[in-house]
Amino acid sequence: MPRPGFVLEVDRNTPPILFWRGENFSLEKLPAGRSRVIYAPEPLEPLVDIDGAIRHALLNPIDHDPLPELLFPGMKLTIAFDDISLPLPPMTRPDIRQRVIEAVLDLAADAGVDDVHLIAALALHRRMTEAELRHAVGDRVYDAFAPRGLLYQHDAEDPDQLEYLGQTPQGEDVEINKRAADSDLLVYVNINLVAMDGGWKSTATGLSSYKSLQHHHNPQTMEATRSFMDQHKSELHKSNWRMGQVMVDSGVKVFQIESTMNTDTFPKPFGFLSKREWEWNARDRASFIASSSALKRTPARIARNIFHSIEAPHQMTSVQAGEVDAVHKVTTANVWKQQLVEVQGQTDILTMGIPFICPYNVNSIMNPILVMCMGLGYLFNMYRGKPLVKEGGVIIMTHPTPWDFHPVHHPSYIDFFEQVLSETTDPHVMSKKYEKRFAEDEWYKHLYRTSYAYHGVHPFYMWYWGAHGMQHCSRVIIVGGDVKAVRRLGFTPASTMDDAFEIASDVVGSSPTITHIHTPPVLVADVK
């Protein structure tokens, strides 16, 4: 029986706590008597018969006709699926998407459906490579569809591939993939790594264009969202749901398939990363010492390759299909079951170790903008109820924050860092002055469409993602980061955790309460 999440009150006997530092980690001693550490629940048992569960979900959908009844010869069927940003780290084969897509295709074949397109729902993310697509959908599906041009990636900059469906009552434009909009049935294959994923966000974001996205990927929406992980207090989600209604009203027929995963995040050699430090055995301690000291001597590029070759053993804990909203309610409950940890009260200082990966640097570099996004966008938002850190409190992250960018994946990030952040870190100012220019830059568009680049506007979205965190905290400190890069972000560099606490004392006094969010594995604090 997996143990639930746990909040450890740090005392004098508490061992040092593991902090991620990108492609490495360190052990940090937290002050006794006023610090606590939040540990994720242990991984739930995966489904025993995953393929059986998928088939059951397709045949017994929620608030929807069974999938076979929706399939008929001569129909246009489109299967859209989540892209490389999920799950994290990428899972061992077979990927959930492969299992679900194969099950859907089997039913489609039984029904005599032969007009089937598979679309990676990239939104403005980078295109996936052939290897990444093969990993997601499996070789059998890839070989059957890709060579005939029936498996492809959503292109948000191809006007011929987009269809304008109208506006929400709030005047938000809804423009999505034309093939998806024109199909007799759109099946969306989702992976819910966190509660933020799924629902109408899958289609209204994943298959849309800048014209649509700009209505909810903006500073106002992000600052008004409490948090991304709580759909009902998220303006981001409310906007996506309104757009979903426009899709329904326009006749787009969606069959949503959502799945949840357990938090079995690291393979055996890295097992100590998921364990609570006081439960480390001799082998865990030896693994930590060996790996952390070896990584210190390893060139960054090689260390990055090592970590990005990790395939997580996480597995499916639930799968449900049917009407989008009804399915998402069940999915969200299943996500909470795995990730929620009850936490009493807020803290003066929230500490977080930034790991090597986030949704936007799979097989890539965690550049400084993504460090900010991971810290203030994701880990800060891992709450339900209230933020873990008090308003006006301090966030301390640990990460090397190298001034380093993947030139193929993140070309506009380089310009954003060099030009925009050198002038302002205010999301509202940059939004007004620079966003449109980056979004409409022909070179970025070209690279997004033909290479493997995130869209020109994407670094803005990453910055907006952290807007609420920035607004909420009075100081952000990065321990061990490249000093110039940290300053460019508008944050304060510190060389050690003790230095960071000293710096934070200006804001929160000399005996602040400290909370460390011990993730990954993923957890969400239910702050009371």
Partner 1 sequence: MKALQVSRKVARLGLARMASAVSSSAAAKVGPLKLVSIDPPDPLGAGWQTVRTRLSGICGSDLSTIEGRASTYFDDLVSFPFTPGHEVVGELADGTRVVIEPVLGHAARGFPLPHAGAAPGDGDDYAHLALPPLEPGIQTGFCHSTGGGWSTYFLAHESQLHGVPADMTDEAAVMIEPAAGGIHTALMCWPSIAQTETPVIAVLGAGTMGLCAIAGLRRYIPNVHIVVGARYPHQQSMARAFGADEVVAPKELGRAVRRVVGCHMIGDYLSGGAHVTIDAVGNSGSIQSCLQITKPRGRVILMGMPAEVTVDLTGLWHRETQIAGSYTYGTESMPDGTSRRTFDLAIETVGEYDMGRMVSATYPLDDYEDAIAHAAAAGRRGALKVAFDLRPPQQRDTENH
In whole angstroms, how close is the CB of 446 to partner 1 at the nearest point? 6
Do 474 and 507 form a contact (C-beta atoms < 8 A)?
Answer: yes
Q: Which is nearer to partner 1, 255 or 405 (CB)?
A: 405
CA distance 209 to 327: 25
**Count of C-beta atoms within a 10 Å radius of residue 171:** 7
Distance between terminal CA atoms of the chain?
26
In whole angstroms, how close is the CB of 484 to partner 1 at the nearest point? 10
SS3 call for 2: coil
Chain-centroid distance of CA 171 in Å reads: 27
SS3 call for 264: coil
In whole angstroms, how close is the CB of 415 to partner 1 at the nearest point? 6
- Per CB under 8 A, residues contacting partner 1 are 411, 414-415, 418-419, 422, 437, 441-443, 446
Q: Which is nearer to partner 1, 283 or 446 (CB)?
A: 446
Q: Which is nearer to partner 1, 56 or 487 (CB)?
A: 487
Strand pairing of 35-39 and 514-518? parallel
Q: Which is nearer to partner 1, 432 or 446 (CB)?
A: 446
Q: Which is nearer to partner 1, 419 or 511 (CB)?
A: 419
In whole angstroms, how close is the CB of 138 to partner 1 at the nearest point? 36
Question: Residues 204-227, buried b or exposed e (16+ Cβ, 10 A)?
Answer: bbbbbbbebbbbbbbbebbbebbb
Do 40 and 265 form a contact (C-beta atoms < 8 A)?
Answer: no
Q: Give the angle 155-220-226 at the CA atoms, nearest 5°.
A: 100
Q: Which is nearer to partner 1, 281 or 422 (CB)?
A: 422
Q: Which is nearer to partner 1, 411 or 481 (CB)?
A: 411
In whole angstroms, how close is the CB of 217 to partner 1 at the nearest point? 22
Peptide bond into 412 cis (omega under 30): no
In whole angstroms, how close is the CB of 210 to partner 1 at the nearest point? 17
Q: How far is CA 312 from CA 94, 266, 308, 333, 361, in A?
A: 11, 5, 10, 23, 16
Which among 149, 211, 152, 151 is positioned nearest to 176, based on CA atoms? 211
Q: Which is nearer to partner 1, 145 or 444 (CB)?
A: 444
In whole angstroms, how close is the CB of 465 to partner 1 at the nearest point? 23
Q: Which is nearer to partner 1, 378 or 438 (CB)?
A: 438
In whole angstroms, how close is the CB of 450 to partner 1 at the nearest point? 11
Which among 255, 262, 269 is positioned nearest to 309, based on CA atoms? 269
In whole angstroms, how close is the CB of 53 to partner 1 at the nearest point? 48
In whole angstroms, how close is the CB of 445 to partner 1 at the nearest point? 10
CA distance 417 to 110: 52
CA distance 419 to 417: 6
Q: Which is nearer to partner 1, 382 or 453 (CB)?
A: 453
Secondary structure percentages of the chain, helix, strand, coil, to 5? 40, 20, 35
* Burial status of residue 131 (CB atoms within 10 A of its CB: 0-12, 13-18, 19 or more): exposed
Q: Which is nearer to partner 1, 101 or 453 (CB)?
A: 453
Which among 287, 293, 338 is positioned nearest to 317, based on CA atoms? 338
In whole angstroms, how close is the CB of 404 to partner 1 at the nearest point? 13
State both tokens at 375: 């810290």
